[in-house]
Amino acid sequence: VLDGVRKALSRFLSGKGDYERAVKEFIRDLQKELIKADVNVKLVLELTKKIRERALKEEPPPGITRREWFVNIVYEELSKFFGGDKKPDIKPKKKPWVMLLVGLQGSGKTTTAAKLAYYYKLEGYRVGLVAADTYRPAAYDQLKQLGEQIGVPVYGEPDNKDAVEIARRGVEYFVSRGFDIVIVDTAGRHHREEDLLREMREIAENIKPDEVVLVIDAAIGQQAHDLAKKFHEATPIGSIIVTKLDGTAKGGGALSAVAVTGATIKFIGTGEKIDELEVFRPPRFVARILGIGDLEGLIEKVRRIKVEFTEKDVEEFLSGRLNMRLVYKQLVSLRKMGPLRKILQMIPGLSLKIPLEIEAGKAEEKIKKWLAIINSMTYEELDKPEIIDRRRIRRIAYGAGVKPEDVRELLKQYEMMKKLSKQLRKRRDLLEKLQLGF
């Protein structure tokens, strides 16, 4: 949908003429494309007004052209709108935490309910699912089946048509058994729309959810605005999940849903499989909406590495030098930003065995172990891990309270990382460009 923006961007960046006129032209193109992508018109005007003001007022930092700076402003303003650099807060603020999923039929509610349950289960929470869609035939069976697949109990009353009652009893059932999170799946359709909205309101009044989650299909488009408004009026929306972002839809409608409800997007669905749910990252999403592609995601991440690493660290890593102190920092930042693997996959053409492969769900445990191992190394060993022999391995393992195999595994990871760091040196030019900030 927003292919035009990509073209307008490159036209803008390579253009030579009058800056102000180019800005005006680009903003007009952007408006046209956003509206075409179903973003609410008023919202588009507000956004572009802010962008224009900044563009005419701000001076770019040294080394960056005005035009590059302008694109950065566009990117920043859109990202800010979606929550900026902040990671959405997905941790339940109390226990039990009751989540009510609402949205149209077919939006992906039931699938998302199971995905969420699985996600939180892997985070260590005890999760229960409640099947409160009594409108769609076999809705209970669908959720039941998904629940079995992920080992999460499902509460349902297949013969009862009263969704409010089921929701109330289901929540009670899990809460009284000490569950941490209860996720309630609901109907997305009724004979009449008012009936559906009334049912949502009644369920909410009865179970007093801690978080009402609006599930919307990325392809919903212009309707997103009215739909979000109606649901929000029935029961205040606390967060949004955009599904089917693996398809061709860019998800521009989500922009409107965010604007209407004031809620933040917390997760996105990226496929039919149960683990295809990702924590929402505004800059990547904006890059997608703008059609800039994945490099933007990379820029964002590279910037974050810079926050964690000192200039010197990055320099060392990118120049093919590596030591255990750097690995240590990498491990610590991994905990915060997700696997390096993901970052590197975004660099086009870079395919190699990616270091620090950690089995999903075991990351925390493993990282803790590795940090303990690194803590047991001498300064000499930290700077030159190559000298670590069998005798040293045994001593380190003893000191860290782990098995020698664990130390060996970390050393193997280190070797792979070292190889990568060498390969990266060859791609340095690219990374350097990216670090400039567009």
Block residue for tokens 């000191």: 399
Q: Does 111 bind ligand GDP (CB under 6 A)?
A: yes
In the three-class reduction of DSSP (H, G, I as helix; E, B as strand; rest coil), residue 155 is classed as strand
Under the criterion CB under 5 A, does residue 112 sit at the interface with Mg ion?
no
User: What would the two tokens of residue 406 be?
Assistant: 């664990």
Cβ closer to ligand GDP: 219 or 402? 219
User: Where does this chain touch ligand GDP (CB under 6 A) — which range of 243-251, 359-367, 375-383, 392-400?
Assistant: 243-251
235 lines the binding site for Mg ion (CB under 5 A): no
Sheet holding 154-155, edge to edge: 154-155, 127-132, 181-186, 97-102, 211-217, 239-243, 264-269, 277-279
Q: Among all chains, which residue has been given the structure tokens 């969704």? A: 163
Task: Tell me if 110 contacts ligand GDP by CB under 6 A.
Answer: yes
Does 272 sit near ligand GDP (CB under 6 A)?
yes
Residue 272 binding target from ligand GDP, Mg ion, none, CB below 5 to 8 Å by type: ligand GDP
421 binds, among Mg ion, ligand GDP, none (CB under 5 to 8 A by kind): none
Decide if residue 109 touches ligand GDP (CB under 6 A).
yes
Please, which residue, 197 or 416, has the CB nearer to ligand GDP?
197
Q: How far is the CB of 266 from ligand GDP (least distance, A)?
A: 14
Strand partners, 267: 241, 279
Q: Which stretch binds ligand GDP (CB under 6 A): 2-10, 56-64, 242-250, 280-288?
A: 242-250
DSSP states along 162-228: -HHHHHHHHHHHHHHTT-SEEEEEE-S--SSHHHHHHHHHHHHHHH--SEEEEEEETT-GGGHHHHH
State the amino acid at position 390 in one-letter form: R
Q: Which of Mg ion, ligand GDP, none has residue 107 at its interface (CB below 5 to 8 Å by kind)? A: ligand GDP
Size of the site for ligand GDP (CB under 6 A): 18
List C-alpha distances in Å: 209 to 214, 337, 422: 13, 29, 51
CA distances from 284 to 215, 246, 291 (A): 19, 13, 10
Nearer to Mg ion, 72 or 243 (CB): 243
Per CB under 6 A, 107 contacts ligand GDP:
yes
Q: How far apart are CA 279 and CA 337, in angstroms?
A: 11
Out of 46, 165, 210, 246, the residue judged to bind ligand GDP by CB under 6 A: 246
Element (H, E) at 375: helix 363-375
Report in angstroms how near the CB of residue 288 gets to ligand GDP at its nearest: 14
| Interacting span for Mg ion (CB under 5 A) from 90-98, 108-116, 155-163, 381-389 | 108-116
What is the nearest approach in angstroms of Mg ion to the Cβ of residue 187? Answer: 7
Q: Is residue 222 within 8 Å of 260, Cβ to Cβ?
A: no
The binder of ligand GDP chosen from 134, 235, 270, 413 (CB under 6 A): 270
Q: Indicate the DSSP class of residue 93.
A: S
DSSP secondary structure string, 407-426? HHHHHHHHHHHHHHHHHHHH
Question: What is the residue whose two structure tokens read 């990871």?
Answer: 413
Out of 40, 48, 72, 110, point to the residue binding Mg ion (CB under 5 A).
110
Among 244, 266, 288, 301, binds ligand GDP (CB under 6 A): 244
The residues binding ligand GDP (CB under 6 A) are 103, 105-111, 188, 243-244, 246-247, 269-272, 276
The residues binding Mg ion (CB under 5 A) are 109-110
